[in-house]
Structure 1
């Protein structure tokens, strides 16, 4: 059994998907989670590769956010598209990274992701509010590699 399969239960995956759905009900931003076993790259660099593999740069407002986790490597990153970074500071995701790290250290991975996704949704709401004509541009399912 791979580390990915041990990382989250099916119920925990559903909790994360629900958190994405709730967050996206408040913002036009799009949130994805990608989990893989390991990476030899720095996590932000690998997250950028995955971001493009998932075609997250194709959102209309370029406001996608990727939560990337390499389970075996014990690395993670939060990466936002250029539409977000045109409006925010360099350290915009620091609080969410610290929040995730505090829960990951306690091996409460799902809770760390759910809480960070909720916070990201709240932050995105300020810059990318939800509009009635918004469509869900990216899948809310957790991708695995």
Structure 2
């Protein structure tokens, strides 16, 4: 697996995830791999979403940001709780914004902005409750093949 990010860039991405989750019960994960073979990026993101057990959150408000670096494919897959709140159009807009950054070779900026935007949407619909909320999924970057 090629290392696509420097240590500093990885830390920026992790910090974006932590900040996105700070004000919400929602969960955000980032999955990076080199290629998306045999399926669309959305289908691959959905497959990974369930493999990572992201559908097990209490409010069904997990979101996976997926990138196939070599194929230049991206997808955002949100669980049913958040998807019902923001709609398909929201995910498509986030993908388009991310791709604009990618075309300018600002991949980390595009990912951080997407994660921040998702965090804001999660905050709007699933604000943090200190009495009941806990971090249900790891705050990490998952690297595939």
**Common fold, TM-score beyond 0.5?**
yes
TM-score by length of 1: 0.93
Aligned to 1:135: 134
Which portions of structure 1, spanning 4 or more consecutive aligned residues, are displaced by more than 2 angstroms? 86-90
Q: Contact 2:32/2:66 (CA < 8 Å) preserved in 1?
A: yes
CA contact (8 A) 2:13 2:108 kept: yes
Supply the distance in 2 between the matched residues of 1:67 and 1:95 (Cα, whole angstroms): 13
2:15 aligns to what?
Answer: 18
Asked if 1:78 is matched to 2:76, the reply is yes
* Structure 2: gaps (5+ residues): none
Cα distance, 1:39 vs. partner? 1.2
CA shift at 1:86, angstroms? 2.3
Where structure 1 has 5 or more consecutive residues not aligned to the other structure, the ranges are: none
For residue 55 of structure 1, report the CA deviation from its aligned partner: 0.7
Partner in structure 2 of residue 118 of structure 1: 116
* Aligned match of 1:98: 96
The Cα of 1:141 is off from its aligned counterpart by 0.7
Q: Could you tell me which residue of structure 2 aligns to residue 30 of structure 1?
A: 27
Q: How far 1:115 sits from its partner (Å)?
A: 0.9
Deviates more, 1:94-103 or 1:20-29: 94-103
- Please give the secondary structure, in 2, of the residue aligned with 1:79: strand
- State the TM-score, normalizing by the size of structure 2: 0.93
How large is the Cα RMSD of the aligned pairs?
Answer: 1.1
- Write out per-residue CA displacement over residues 25-50 of structure 1, whole angstroms, 9 at most, x where no aligned residue: 11111000000110121000000111
